[in-house]
A and B are shown apart, each in its own frame.
Chain A
Amino acid sequence: MRSLDWIILIAFLAFIALYGLWRGRRARTAESYLLAGRSLRWYTVLFSIMATQASAITFLSTPGQAYADGMRFIQFYFGLPLAMVVLSITVVPLFHRLKVYTAYEYLEQRFDGRVRTLTAALFLVQRGLAAGLTIYAPALIFATILGWDIFWMNLVFGSVVVLYTASGGTRAVSHTQTVQVLIIFTGMVVACTMLIRLLPAQVSLLDATRLAGKLGKLESIDPSFNLHSRYTLWSGLIGGFFLQLSYFGTDQSQVQRYLTGKSVTQSRMGLLFNGLLKIPMQISILFLGVLVFVFYQFTAPPLFFNAGPVTAIRHTPQAAVYADLEQQYAALHAEKQAAIGGLLTAMHREDAVEEARYAAGLKQTNGEMQAVRESAIDLLAARHPGMDRKDTNFVFLTFLVHYLPVGLLGLVIAAIVAAAMGSTAAELNALASTTTVDFYRRFRRQPQATTAADASGEEAGKLDPAAAQAVNQAAAERRTVRFSRGATLFWGFFAVAFADYASRLGSLIEAVNILGSLFYGTILGIFLTAFYMPRVGGRAVFRAALAAETVVVACFLWSGISFLWYNLIGCLAVMGLSWLPSLSRGRLTRR
């Protein structure tokens, strides 16, 4: 990065921090600190929802996934619009009417305190760990570019986010997220424009798209019903629906976003617009990855995109073997240029026979290149046991660093950092809210109340019971806000500590989704039981939730079933196991 890139990035970070502090300066009551006074318009709710879901992981890992695996990942989001509709009809009016601070408050009234505590605890574990991954992703960018220690980078990003989130609460988070989404869209447009400009002069955008299609990168829909295939139309529609329903309906980091809406209408519009915009946005990000793939058909890519192990192996006896593999890889890349040229010419002439011939040749060469790559990965993995064999997280990053001009690199990196900050802030904000509302407010020891009799001297005569109550309430509000700030700090440091371990995981976006799927099904099952099974009581659902979580973890460890299905399995297990005791009770009653 050059000076101009640094200036843009630092100016952006400083602006966001100051803007957040300024926006949240009046958060003095629990409602204004935790829910922005329930005063936000639909577009702020929308941007807040989008920024919460789209983390830096989205921008680092998703293009890399498209580069390696094509556009199939888009199917993951097919359940989202359906979930938005269901939530708009059911959950949004309910939560608004009950005026809850967290989704878990509702469960205590419907079942009992135990179910509320269990569900809130599952959320804290799952989201606390996920927040660590959200912080780790941008730190990875800077660690790779500058070679700095990843722990210190986690600490720097985490501290900036914690600063304005702890200070201004939800209002600061939601308003900064609006700015962050605008920066993200700008960064995406810049990256896409640069990719198109960097393609060879004779290759148009349509040519690039057709080339990607011929090489299998545009295969977006898989209609097969295969439980072991990670992304299919049905896993996206059914499993994805349950995942998104659970994420938006029961995950406090999203529930808190639309609870800030001024009315049911404002919250609903935010969710529904998200349903319309999310899939096109993900298609655009995946298409960036496809364009990077096309770009590297003309420009030689590195043998392995993760520069860390590659740099390390150059100082070992295996350096010569690795260099030899690099030469083979480069030779194959040069060899396939003739086939690419032939394919483009055949496409222009609309000669289907020639197209098929060149495409087959190209696929074969790409297969040979992949074989060389696998040998190189084996070599690296032998030297670094436990190394992640996937390098998808580094593909987009490598492209940005090497090919974006001065200034634009700073802007695109600012966009990625913006995404990281927005989602991390929302997560820390939600973790702090749940800790405060679902644990601190319920289990704290009540401080002694101020009464008129307690007041001494002149105040004794002036303070009537109503005023004393107001004083007590104001003091309680201040304590709640103070505790929430402390909880934000705690979760910020917890996330930074967990982020230190994140580099050992595989593809980051998949890691987050898998982690979510381990818990979301159970949490969703609890909520759906609450909504639609009035005969089920607290004890039954509590036991069912524990059993369902065991089933999901067992599936994860031993079954090989794709993770999207865990949401359905967990949800159905909770509902089914909760229902069984009431069924047997009903039979006994009839007898």
Chain B
Amino acid sequence: MSALLKETPHGNVQPDPAGAEKPLLFKRWRSWYLLELLALAAVILLLAWVTRTFR
């Protein structure tokens, strides 16, 4: 196990075949990350609207 730990993010890391797997629904991981950020923004805006409207 410790031999496997010899790699660090700053060393010569080998490309990881598992990391090349496709995500669900989208073709690229970037779309998922964008979806997360948009969902967060939507929730904050919705709650801000609720705060103002039902005050």
* Chain A positions near chain B (C-beta within 8 angstroms): 42, 71, 74, 78, 81-82, 84-85, 88-90, 93-94, 96-101, 105-106, 108-110, 209-210, 212-214, 216, 218-221, 233, 263-265, 268-269, 272, 275-276, 279-280, 283, 531, 534
19 more contacts with CB within 8 A, not counting A96-B19, A233-B44, A280-B43, are A81-B39, A82-B37, A84-B36, A88-B33, A96-B16, A97-B7, A97-B16, A98-B7, A99-B4, A210-B54, A218-B55, A219-B51, A263-B21, A265-B21, A272-B36, A275-B36, A275-B39, A276-B39, A279-B40
Complex alpha-carbon distance, A272 and B32, angstroms: 8
B27 at interface by CB-CB < 8 Å: no
Residues of B contacting A221 with CB < 8 Å? 44, 47-48, 51
Nearest chain B CB to A245 CB, angstrom units: 14
Residues of B contacting A82 with CB < 8 Å? 36-37, 40
Residues of B contacting A96 with CB < 8 Å? 16, 18-19
Indicate if the CB atoms of A108 and B5 lie closer than 8 Å: yes
Residues of A contacting B14 with CB < 8 Å? 97
Residues of A contacting B37 with CB < 8 Å? 81-82, 85
Indicate if the CB atoms of A220 and B1 lie closer than 8 Å: no
CB nearest neighbor in A for B24: A269
Sample 21 A-B pairs with CB under 8 A, ordered by A number: A71-B47, A74-B47, A81-B36, A85-B37, A89-B33, A90-B9, A93-B16, A96-B19, A99-B4, A105-B5, A109-B2, A209-B54, A213-B50, A219-B55, A220-B51, A221-B48, A264-B18, A265-B21, A269-B24, A276-B39, A531-B9
Residues of A contacting B39 with CB < 8 Å? 81, 275-276
Nearest chain B CB to A388 CB, angstrom units: 29
Indicate if the CB atoms of A212 and B54 lie closer than 8 Å: yes
Residue among A98, A100, A209, A264 making CB contact with B19, cutoff 8 Å: A264
Interface positions, chain B 13-49, Cβ under 8 Å from A, are 13-14, 16, 18-19, 21-24, 29, 32-33, 35-37, 39-40, 43-44, 47-48
Complex alpha-carbon distance, A570 and B33, angstroms: 27
Given contacts A109-B8, A212-B54, A219-B55, contact A265 B22 (CB under 8 A): yes
Indicate if the CB atoms of B1 and A101 lie closer than 8 Å: yes
Complex alpha-carbon distance, A89 and B43, angstroms: 23
Residues of A contacting B43 with CB < 8 Å? 279-280, 283
Complex alpha-carbon distance, A101 and B1, angstroms: 9
Indicate if the CB atoms of B5 and A100 lie closer than 8 Å: yes
Nearest chain B CB to A587 CB, angstrom units: 23
Indicate if the CB atoms of B54 and A218 lie closer than 8 Å: yes
CB nearest neighbor in A for B16: A97
| Interface size grouping (class) on chain B | 35 or more
Indicate if the CB atoms of A85 and B51 lie closer than 8 Å: no
Complex alpha-carbon distance, A264 and B50, angstroms: 38
Residues of A contacting B33 with CB < 8 Å? 85, 88-89, 272
Complex alpha-carbon distance, A395 and B47, angstroms: 24
Residues of B contacting A219 with CB < 8 Å? 51, 55
Nearest chain B CB to A204 CB, angstrom units: 14
Given contacts A212-B54, A218-B51, contact A276 B7 (CB under 8 A): no
Complex alpha-carbon distance, A219 and B47, angstroms: 8
Residues of A contacting B29 with CB < 8 Å? 88-89, 268
Residues of A contacting B24 with CB < 8 Å? 42, 269
Closest 4 CB pairs of A and B: A213-B54, A265-B21, A220-B47, A109-B5
Residues of A contacting B44 with CB < 8 Å? 78, 221, 233
Complex alpha-carbon distance, A74 and B44, angstroms: 10
Complex alpha-carbon distance, A268 and B40, angstroms: 18
CB nearest neighbor in A for B55: A213
Nearest chain A CB to B31 CB, angstrom units: 11
Given contacts A81-B39, A99-B4, A233-B44, contact A264 B21 (CB under 8 A): yes
Complex alpha-carbon distance, A37 and B23, angstroms: 22
Complex alpha-carbon distance, A218 and B47, angstroms: 9
Given contacts A221-B48, A263-B21, contact A276 B8 (CB under 8 A): no
Indicate if the CB atoms of B36 and A85 lie closer than 8 Å: yes
Indicate if the CB atoms of B6 and A109 lie closer than 8 Å: yes
Indicate if the CB atoms of A99 and B1 lie closer than 8 Å: yes
Given contacts A85-B36, A88-B29, contact A269 B51 (CB under 8 A): no
